[in-house]
Amino acid sequence: MYLIKKSALLIAVVFTLLYSSCAAALPKQLIVTGSSTWEPFSFINSEGEPDGIMVDFWKLYGEKNHVEIKFQLMNWPASIALASTDTTVIHGGLGYTSNRAKYLYFSRELPLQKYDVYLFAKRELNDTALSHLSDLKVGSVTASVKDEFLTTRLPSESIRRYDTFGGLNEAAYRGDIDVFIDDLNTTLYGLYKNDRQGTFTPRKKLYSFSIHFAVSRQNARQMPAIEKGLENITDKEVDALYHKWFDDIPGLEESAVQGSKLKWPLISVSILFIAVVSIIPMVLRRKSQDLKNALKALATSSAKLEQVTQLDRLTGTLNRDAFYNVLNEKRFSPSPYSIAVLDLDNLGQLNAECGHQVGDIAIKHLISQLRGQLSSKAVIARLGGGEFAILFDYCDRNLAIKRIDKLRRSLPSIPLSLNQQVLPLSFCYSFAHYPEDGDEGSALVNTALKRMRQHKAERVNNLSAGIDGHRHLDTELPW
Tens digits of per-residue pLDDT, 117-165?
Answer: 898 999 888 877 766 787 889 998 888 888 888 887 788 888 999 988 8
Question: Domain check: are 357 and 430 in the same one?
Answer: yes
Q: Is residue 333 part of a domain?
A: yes
pLDDT digits (tens, 9 = 90+) for 106-121: 888 899 998 888 989 9
Question: Domain check: are 99 and 146 in the same one?
Answer: no
Q: Is residue 241 part of a domain?
A: yes
Highest mean pLDDT among 2-16, 231-245, 298-312: 231-245
Contact at 8 Å (CB) between 160 and 137? yes
pTM greater than the 0.85 cutoff: no
Most distant CA pair in the chain, distance: 100
Q: End of a domain among 282, 310, 338?
A: 310
Tell whether the model's pLDDT for residue 64 goes beyond 90: yes
Highest mean pLDDT among 198-212, 255-269, 278-292: 198-212
Give how many domains the chain has, as a whole number.
4
Question: Domain check: are 97 and 194 in the same one?
Answer: no
Question: Domain check: are 122 and 108 in the same one?
Answer: no
Question: Domain check: are 285 and 332 in the same one?
Answer: no
Q: Is residue 357 part of a domain?
A: yes
Tell whether the model's pLDDT for residue 248 goes beyond 70: no
Question: Domain check: are 303 and 226 in the same one?
Answer: no
Phi-psi region of 52 (alpha: psi -120 to 50; beta: other; left: phi over 0): left
> What distance in Å separates the CA atoms of residue 307 and residue 320, rounded to the nearest whole number?
13
Question: Domain check: are 295 and 418 in the same one?
Answer: no
Tell whether the model's pLDDT for residue 301 goes beyond 90: no
> What distance in Å separates the CA atoms of residue 446 and residue 404, rounded to the nearest whole number?
18
Contact at 8 Å (CB) between 93 and 35? no
Q: Is residue 6 part of a domain?
A: no
Q: What is the pairing mode between strands 337-344 and 200-209? A: unpaired
* φ, ψ at 392 (rounded to 5°): -100, 100
Question: Domain check: are 343 and 460 in the same one?
Answer: yes
Q: What CATH number is associated with residue 234? A: 3.40.190.10
Q: Is residue 16 part of a domain?
A: no
Residue 249's pLDDT is what? 66
pLDDT digits (tens, 9 = 90+) for 427-447: 899 999 888 888 788 889 999
Q: Is residue 13 part of a domain?
A: no
Helix H or strand E encompassing 140: strand 138-141
> Distance between alpha carbon 24 and the CA centroid of its chain, in Å?
29
Q: Is residue 3 part of a domain?
A: no
Residue 292 confidence class, pLDDT cut points 50, 70, 90: low
Alpha helices in 231-355 (DSSP H): 235-246, 252-261, 263-279, 281-310, 320-328, 347-354
Question: Domain check: are 349 and 471 in the same one?
Answer: yes
Tell whether the model's pLDDT for residue 222 goes beyond 80: yes
Return the SS3 of 333: coil
Domain that holds residue 386: 320-475
Residue 184 confidence class, pLDDT cut points 50, 70, 90: confident
Question: Domain check: are 98 and 164 in the same one?
Answer: no
Q: Is residue 419 part of a domain?
A: yes
Question: Domain check: are 227 and 85 in the same one?
Answer: yes
Q: What CATH number is associated with residue 364? A: 3.30.70.270
> What distance in Å separates the CA atoms of residue 387 and residue 364, rounded to the nearest whole number?
12
Question: Domain check: are 352 and 468 in the same one?
Answer: yes
